[in-house]
Structures are given as C-alpha cells and as structure tokens.
Amino acid sequence: MATDMIVTGQQIFTALSLYGPVEWIRTSSGRNPVEGYMQSPHVAWRFRGGSNTDMAQHIATLVSDTSTQEEWTLDHSSRNWLLAPSRVLHECAADSLTFRKAAMHITLSDPDFCERANHDLALIIFRMRDYKRL
C-alpha cells in the first residue's frame, strides 16, 4: 500500500471539521506505532452541539457512494458517531465481543483485510474532504 493512502488522525479531524465543530475524536488507522502491524481502522467522534439530519444523511451518502474494497458502516444513531468496517461490527455481534476486542482479533489475524480497510478509510476521508471543498 502506498504510504499516501494511509490517512492520519489529523487528516481525519480536518475532514470532519468541515462538517461541524468536532468535540471529541478517537481514531485508529495505519500502523501500530509500537508494534508496527497494520491496524483495523475506525473513527469515533462527536460533533459539538450534535448533528442535524441533513448533515448525517449527507455524510452517510458520501460514505456509501465511495467505492471501497470492504463494506463500511456509519452509525450516527447516538451522540457519538462511528465509522468502521462492517466486518468488525459483525464479529462483535456474532462472538459477543467488545468493539476493541473484535478489532484487535481482526488486526492480528487478517493483515490483508487491514491493508484494504486502511486504503478504504483514506478514500472515504479524502472524498469527504474534497466534496466539502467544492
């Protein structure tokens, strides 16, 4: 994977900030800074003051219209938003795992998936950034 297709936390924050003030964010993408393995990516965040239905639908459409290798889920049903590969959420439900444990299991067992998913996340974030700039 080209290193320019690994999105940084700052790039994610900057893209989301185009849609509203980000109050809180947690990301996982690229390589683990200590161990060096490719991580299963996800983004969790909260907009200050919440979000409106039109913005939520707009972001959901951008995510679903991005041509990705893996299926992605955008959950904005609660105060915190979550953008993650659907596989992680399916494994949570199927194996009664926490999100963190499911993501770690996939990270350690399927590095090819993590490569594809990180590439996908970069595409999604760059699309969100570029669309809002138009």
pLDDT tens by residue, 77-96: 888 999 999 999 999 888 88
pTM, full prediction: 0.91
**Long-range contacts: 110-115, Cβ < 8 Å, 24+?**
111/37, 111/38, 113/40, 113/70, 113/85, 113/87, 114/37, 114/38, 114/39, 114/40, 114/41, 115/1, 115/38
pLDDT for the residue 3: 47
pLDDT for the residue 49: 86
- Give the chain's end-to-end CA distance (angstroms, integer): 28
41 in Cβ contact with 29 (< 8 Å): yes
Within the chain, strands assigned E span: 22-28, 42-47, 72-75, 81-85
pLDDT for the residue 133: 57
Calculate the average pLDDT of the chain: 91
pLDDT for the residue 63: 95
